[in-house]
Structures are given as structure tokens and as C-alpha cells.
Structure 1
Amino acid sequence: MDIPRIHTIRESSHRIHNPIDATKLATLGRALGIGPGATALDLACGTGEMLCTWARDHGVIGTGVDLSSVFIERARARATELGVAVTFQHGDASQYVARERVDLVSCLGATWIGGGLEGTIALLDRSLKPGGLMVIGEPYWLSDPPDEAVAACHLTRKDEFGSLPDLVDRYDELGYDLVEMVLADKDSWDRYAAAQWLNLRRWADANPEDDLVPQVRAESRTAPRDHVRYQREYLGWGAFALMRR
């Protein structure tokens, strides 16, 4: 049980696996006013940077879960590096519910674990204390994509996402108040996407006999063009903090 190898190659240098940089992640942590000893659960945690740095900066304790064994090993190494009291489990985040409810639950950029936004919010809510904070990372359209080709570039349908106001309305309809948000900008999108191009190229050069090389080299050619034509112009992304009404 693991994620496709191409994904770990693509994001091999990333500490944050979304278009939000370390400064924005720290801004969100400060804005939420998290106190020492707050308990947290991060589903689809990647390499654990949010949980580790919030443990270092705010005294959070808790657990991260991810399907990637590669990412989980890196997350554990990061926790050791920072000397923080967080743990990481390799497993299917879509099936994970905390034994005891926590103060903060999160899923950044992986709402597929619950079959979409609504299902993921319902999953996270099962682990959250009353009055706790839920942090969701989710895309939205900055402007209406001109055709399905733009949506297909993001492996989605045109109607799968709405605008930012549409997304805020969905949170409201699901019974949650939006209490904070930090949004990606073009620069943070560039840093996230462009690092992938370098990761892919270096891996392909270092592993010329690997069966995955043709796929990696093909993506190395198309990904930059897709990004500058579609991604940075049409797709937004934000980390949204919610509280159940």
C-alpha cells in the first residue's frame, strides 16, 4: 500500500506538498493562536512539515498519517531533527479516526481521501473536539476556465471546483464558519511547481535505465507549459480554517 512512485519523484525536494510556502504556513499557525499542548491530527500529511513546525513553534502534539512510506520516513526524520513530540503513521488516511478527539484536524490538498470536500470534512469531524479547528487545503478557480482542456490539465473536471466565493458558500452550507484563511499566490505556485521540474529532470538524468524515465521525461516537457498557460492563471489554492457552527 503506497502512492505511485512518480509522485514521490516529482516532490522529492518538497517539504510542503502544496502551493503554500513556509512563510504562509507559519502565518497560518500564528493566526490560529494555537497553544502549547494542543492536540492535532493531520491526514495525508506528506512529509509532515506543518505538524513538525507547528510543534516547534506552538507546542502542538499529535499524529500525521500518509499513504506514502517515503514521505512518512522523511516526516519522522524531520520530527527527530526538530526534536518535537509528534508521531507519523504509514497508512490509509481515508480510514483513520483518532482514538481520542483532538483540538485541531487538518487535510491540506488531499480531499480525495473522503471522496471530495464534503466527505473529507465529515471524516475530519469524527476526530475533532467540539469547538476545535479544522484546516482544509482546497483548490478553486481564479477565473472560469475557458474549456475542459484547462481542467484536464489539473486532472479534474471543469465543474469539480468553483470560485473562491463558491467555496466559502460550500463551507457555510455544510454548517461551518470560516474563521481564517491563507491563500497561495503566483509566486508560491511557481515555487511549488518549478521545483517539481528540477526534481524530475535530475532523477531522469541519474536513472537513465529506469522504466519510468520515458514518463518522467514526457512530463518534464509538458509540465512547465501547462503551468504557465493554465495553472498560475486559472487555479487558486487556499488553506481554510473552519469551526462547526
Structure 2
Amino acid sequence: MDVLSMHEIAEAGHRILNPFTEDKLMLLGEVCRLHPGQRLLDLASGKGELLCRWADAFGIEGLGVDISTVFVAAARARAVELGVADRVTFALGDAAQAVPPPGGAGDATRPHAAEPGGDPGGAGPRWEYDVVSCIGATWIGGGLAGTVALMRRAVRDDGLLLLGEPYWADDTPDGAYAALDCPREVFATLGGTLERLESAGLELLEMVLADGDSWDRYVASQWWTVSDWLRAHPESPDAPAMREYLRAARRTHLQYQRRYLGWGVFVCRVSGA
């Protein structure tokens, strides 16, 4: 059973697929100073809650790209529910391929002329988004630096880059890295995250960080969802993997993750832009 399938089951009841509450998601939109007419590209957009809620509240438009058919379907339904389907579009595809390569054209996940972000004159998509976000999925670029490089190809010179990224507490014990199956070097401390952003050519402007309650609402609320799924599908070939997922998720969250693994969205722009 692959990791994506596990998350599709565990996050079946979630709208926000990161340790962010609704209040923090909307606060992030406020600190980004969003306003009508801005265009946003959301890479690994999940169920599209960020794009849909911000289109509704701030009048933006945009494109979200995600690899999960389950999540893309949910995002499109959410856009209809909130009455913003004329302003936001969700494409199924690899988010890493959703921006054009340097000096070349993008692939089929690029927005069409009829979609938000497309050129109404029919000359093709315009890759000058006001905001480009990758919230909790910097693995699409092989890490923070690689994802920043992807995002910079799609953002206008003075636009914003939003990066959702975990970070280690300063006093994280060695046992946490093994328990969370995440080598120390994959993420940094908060101070180290700032250094990584600056090394990637970015200026940190703002941030909104998760807290213990945010983590609980994201992780702990999955336990009930998975437990219900296991009761409904006891003979599924995926049941053993989901039982282990649930067992490990409870233990690692309570023992290490809630205390030692932070998470936040860092609002940046290109240095000197």
C-alpha cells in the first residue's frame, strides 16, 4: 500500500491536509495582504481549501495541481460548494511538472486559456503568478531549495512564495528522528529554516506557525477516521498496513511529534526584488 493511498484514507474527513486550523489558514491569507484580481498557483493543492477559501474571502483566482484523484475531486466539489468554480481550477498532475522548465514550455498540467491563469487572448498561459504556494509538500522539488527553484519560475518578480515546512525544536532528541523516520538533515530548526530560505535567495517577510492544538486536529482526528475505516473494512488487503499506520501515528505523535516537530508557513519574496 503506497503512502498516498494511506493519506487518502486517513484524511478522508479533513479539508485542510496540514496541521493548520481554519483560523490559521485565514490568518495566513490576511498577512499575505491578498486582494481581488491576484492570481495564485498552489502546488500539491490537496483538497483545495486554501484556494477555495481565499477566492471566497479575498477575491483571488488561481490554479491548484495535485497528484491525487481523490483530493482533486474533493477540491472541485469544494469550489462549487463555495461558489468560486469560475475563479479557481484544479488540475490532476505532478506538481513538480506544473511549471515550465527553464527556457521551455510546461506540460499538460499547465492552465488552459479558459482557466484562471490562462491567457484569454489564446496566446497560452502566462507564468507570472502573484503568489505561488507549496504548503507541506516540498518533497516535490527534492527539498526546500529545489522546491523554491520550481516556484520561482512561476512567480512574478515582486510576488510572494508561500512555503509550508516542518522544523525541529532546538532540543530534539536523537530518538525522535528514528521514531519519525526522518533524518535530522531533512528539516532544520526555525533558525536553520531561515538560513535555508536565505540561501535559496529568499527574504522572509512573515510566518504563521502551527501549535500543539493544530497538530492534534490534524493528526489525532485521523485516528478516529482510520479506526472507522478498519471497522468497515476488516478483511481489506490494506487493513494490516492501515493498522500499523494507526499504531505508529498515535505513538509517534504523543511521544515525539507534538513536542519536537514544528510546522509553519513562511511568507517570502525573492531577495532584492
TM-score w.r.t. the length of structure 2 is: 0.86
Size of the aligned set, in residue pairs, is 243
In the alignment, the residues of structure 1 paired with residue 38 and residue 81 of structure 2 have an alpha-carbon distance, to the nearest angstrom, of: 21
Letter in 2 for 1:208: P
Matched, 1:111 2:138: yes
Matched, 1:159 2:164: no
TM-aligned CA deviation for residue 222 of structure 1: 2.6
Matched, 1:31 2:36: no
Q: For 1:70-109, what aligned pairs fall within 5 Å after superposition?
A: 70-84=70-84, 85-97=87-99, 99-100=125-126, 101-109=128-136
| 1:159 aligned counterpart, secondary structure | helix
In the alignment, the residues of structure 2 paired with residue 219 and residue 135 of structure 1 have an alpha-carbon distance, to the nearest angstrom, of: 29
Gaps of 5+ in 1: none
Q: Which moved more, 1:94-103 or 1:234-243?
A: 94-103
Cα deviations across residues 67-99 of structure 1 (Å, max 9, x unaligned)? Answer: 000000000000000011101001000111153
Letter in 1 for 2:157: P
| 2:184 aligned counterpart, secondary structure | coil
Q: For 1:184-223, what aligned pairs fall within 5 Å after superposition?
A: 184-223=210-249
Cα deviations across residues 114-140 of structure 1 (Å, max 9, x unaligned)? Answer: 011000000011110110011000010
Contact 1:3 1:68 in 2 (8 A): no
In the alignment, the residues of structure 2 paired with residue 153 and residue 76 of structure 1 have an alpha-carbon distance, to the nearest angstrom, of: 36
Aligned partner of 2:9 in structure 1 is 9
Aligned partner of 1:41 in structure 2 is 41
| 1:138 aligned counterpart, secondary structure | strand
TM-aligned CA deviation for residue 3 of structure 1: 6.5
Aligned partner of 2:157 in structure 1 is 130
In the alignment, the residues of structure 1 paired with residue 89 and residue 258 of structure 2 have an alpha-carbon distance, to the nearest angstrom, of: 34
Q: For 1:223-242, what aligned pairs fall within 5 Å after superposition?
A: 223-242=249-268
TM-aligned CA deviation for residue 219 of structure 1: 2.2
| 2:236 aligned counterpart, secondary structure | coil
TM-aligned CA deviation for residue 175 of structure 1: 1.7
TM-aligned CA deviation for residue 15 of structure 1: 0.6
Aligned partner of 1:172 in structure 2 is 198
In the alignment, the residues of structure 2 paired with residue 168 and residue 103 of structure 1 have an alpha-carbon distance, to the nearest angstrom, of: 22
Contact 1:46 1:68 in 2 (8 A): yes
Letter in 2 for 1:6: M
The structure-2 alpha-carbon separation of the partners of 1:4 and 1:32, relative to structure 1 and needing over 3 Å to count, comes to: closer
TM-aligned CA deviation for residue 153 of structure 1: 3.2
Letter in 1 for 2:97: Q
Contact 1:145 1:158 in 2 (8 A): no
TM-score w.r.t. the length of structure 1 is: 0.96
Contact 2:208 2:264 in 1 (8 A): yes
CA-based RMSD of the aligned residues comes to: 1.3
In the alignment, the residues of structure 1 paired with residue 40 and residue 3 of structure 2 have an alpha-carbon distance, to the nearest angstrom, of: 24
In the alignment, the residues of structure 2 paired with residue 24 and residue 160 of structure 1 have an alpha-carbon distance, to the nearest angstrom, of: 25
Matched, 1:141 2:143: no
Letter in 2 for 1:86: V
TM-aligned CA deviation for residue 22 of structure 1: 0.6
Gaps of 5+ in 2: 100-109, 111-124
Largest Rg, 1 or 2: 2
